Amino acid sequence: MHENLIPVRQAVIARNPGESEFHQAVDEVFESLGPVVARHPELLESAILERICEPERQIIFRVPWTDDNGRVHINRGFRVEFNSALGPYKGGLRFHPSVYLGIVKFLGFEQIFKNSLTGMPIGGGKGGSDFDPSGRSDAEIMRFCQSFMTELYRHIGEYTDVPAGDIGVGGREIGYLFGQYKRITNRYESGVLTGKGLAWGGSLVRTEATGYGTVMFAEEMLKTRGQDMDGREMLVSGSGNVAIYAIERAQSLGAKVLTASDSSGYVVDPDGIDLDLLKQVKEVERARISQYAERKGGRARFISDGSVWDVPGSVALPCATQNELNGRQAKKLLANGVEVVAEGANMPTTAEAVRIFRDADVLFAPGKAANAGGVATSALEMQQNASRDSWTFDYTQQRLQEIMRGIHHRCAETADEYGMPGNYVAGANIAGFIKVARAMSAQGLI
């Protein structure tokens, strides 16, 4: 890390004690910014770095709700509105027991640079709750969402802050949240949330966008070496929205996807994942991944220990959660012939694993670049809502493809410009940072 960045980094750690994920995200960006600081010392003089690491607003609130037995529960809600230099705050809501302020700040910090890379006029924010939707009835989830929005509504709006979904927040939850927002405000403000149902303001391709976009980015990286996806054996972690649609896109390009996982373990299917069965198990029945292996039979098997990264394959897409791929697993992937790693989740690869991949000349795409397709399509949904319009699937998918190519181009070009060719981590961090920093400088000390 550049010597001028170390005091700033130390101040961030001291100011945000115990928030390890946020510290990790800051370190990952700062380690790329040495050449920027050397070339643009004025960014240190105006304290851009200190300001970009301090959220513009942090909102924490109580969320009381009752279960189907009448028992009262209390959860904690969060919304971190991190940076609005480029546009209204934009980023998802995560409902998961692991959620605390440090997780939300890490996600929001990443979102600043991810949203910048898309080229769309959106700032960075993130939110959520430590509520666990697993095993809860639709009625319980509705009551929780209504209570959550009863506080959140006063902080959001289509020109202020536009939340979307994330882990634990899909179309069902967005529907309940939007309904309560409309009920409280007496406004049909379509652009206040994205990820809506198609019948009431949602965008085609939004469901598929993060997974599709991750594969599109990997495809662009392969093109730089004159290669493609056809015939490749691919490893995917997770079995939620991102993983399922990454699998769908990869299969359409001729890849054979061998794995999927959830918190209980993972499945290996040497014949290739049966996407229809996986969707039935995970999207319709919300069952455990072991059900896939039981129903598929044949050579498909469920493994409750180890990880998907123990399986040989040339392309790896971590699409589950943060820090799921560590240094030991990275070495295992290298030994098994991995050539491409693209992050479908947010920061799923530890810093040690990233260094291992970079040292081995593996094509590695950080999440802020590779999984930006979701938020980019959310911005396209906002455009359609603002114009009271609706676009076709093919047109929206074409826009997504153009955006992902643009992100890849910006990352690759910036890495070259700053003397680090092929380093997509540095390219993404520098390109995302410079755009936001220039906007902050132009808008004065606020």
Residue pair 316/235 in contact by the 8 Å Cβ criterion = yes
Q: Which among 90, 105, 114, 126 is annotated as catalytic? A: 126
Q: Which residue has the tokens 């755009």?
A: 435
Q: Has 126 been annotated as catalytic?
A: yes
Tally Cβ neighbours within 10 Å of residue 164.
Answer: 24
Q: Which residues are catalytic?
A: 126
